[in-house]
Amino acid sequence: MKHRCFSIVFILLVLAHVTVFDTIVLAKDVKLPSLKLKATPFSKAKPHSRSPCLPKILPPQDYLSTTYYLTSCPDLEGIIQNKINAWIQRDYTTAASIIRLHFHDCAVRGCDASILLNHAGSERRAEVSKTLRGFEVIDEIKAEVEKRCPKTVSCADILTAAARDAMVMVGGPFWEVPFGRKDGTISHGREAHMVPQGHENVTALIEFFQSRGLNILDLVILSGSHTIGRSTCNSIRPRLSYFKNTVMAEPPIDVKYLNFLKKQCRRDSNYANLDATTPTTFDSMYYTNLEKKRGLLLTDQLLHSDARTAPIVAALAPQPQLFISQFAVSMVKLGNVQLLTGKNQGEIRRNCNYVNP
């Protein structure tokens, strides 16, 4: 019986790497093309009773809970919210910086706070990470949390909740953040280059998101976070050279907007708002700008011209509430990417900049 149980478990572990099902959650009244899906023979199979020798294997996100720190650190969310609010009141660009920091963290090795590790050769020290900001905000929050609840709350959980509170502070939606993530102990600078830099094509973006359990809808929705924030002019320099005597493959840009950007970006060190219309407000104007060919990054404007993403852009532009409600759904999914939750996985860092001694 012992050998039989081992064989069954081994077979299930192999099959787990073969089939992956992705459920797309759509907000109410989304106007997207309908798809006709044909059921496979597997959908008609009768359910089998579970063998008594098989262990119950749960996905990592099932170990998270909104009440995870209810008794061990009851003031956690209040601490994070107060700190984030104070920072954003002093500098509104902090909101976009924290949200971007969270995305870069989850994009490499999952949401394990590896982006916060500050050592030679880390993601944080990589050339492509030099424009990331907000580290001192997380450090300040962590220091206060350690005073109240020492050795209890992970940096990964702090960063995830901080991104939520930053979004709310600039008019975005509120969502419950489930807690229980562990902090990673590995961070390689070469892996930071995997994060989209604003010049990829849509196929590359889709593949990047799908490899992390996110879908095309999540791609377009999370790109909408560019309704706030800025970009260095150096990052968009190729976009500004669109109108030349050579034919370029990238999508067109509004002439008036192009002239404005050329004046704004006389120096590569200058900044340009990602949303040219309402840069300090969380709204759906980002998608309206794309329809007017006023997308700052190449990756933004391509969402409007690619047949796979254009219908979603068209649906979100006139429906701000649809964007806001779906944004919360996609952010929860982002926060659940490749988690460390097991007893022997990760750690609770005492200082977010370094692994525990």
Domains of the chain are 76-194 (1.10.520.10), 202-333 (1.10.420.10)
pTM value?
0.82
**What pLDDT does 240 receive?**
83
283 is an annotated ligand-binding site residue: yes
275 is an annotated ligand-binding site residue: yes
Single-letter amino acid, residue 331: M
CB 136 within 8 A of CB 160: no
Residues known to be catalytic? 104
Residues in CB range of 110: below 8 A, 6 or more apart: 184, 212, 337, 338, 339, 340
93 is an annotated ligand-binding site residue: no
Regions of the chain short of the pLDDT cut 70? 1-58, 60, 242-250
| Cα 211 from Cα 22, distance rounded (Å) | 11
* Beta-bridge partners for 347: 183
CB 339 within 8 A of CB 233: no
110 is an annotated ligand-binding site residue: yes
**What pLDDT does 77 receive?**
98
Phi, psi of 122 (to 5 degrees): -85, 170
| Cα 289 from Cα 226, distance rounded (Å) | 11
| Cα 126 from Cα 200, distance rounded (Å) | 19
Cα distance from N-terminal residue to C-terminal residue, the chain = 44
114 is an annotated ligand-binding site residue: yes
CA dist 90 → 94, 144, 192, 330 (Å): 9, 19, 29, 28
Closest CA to 351 of 151, 53, 56: 151
**What pLDDT does 251 receive?**
78
196 is an annotated ligand-binding site residue: yes
123 is an annotated ligand-binding site residue: yes
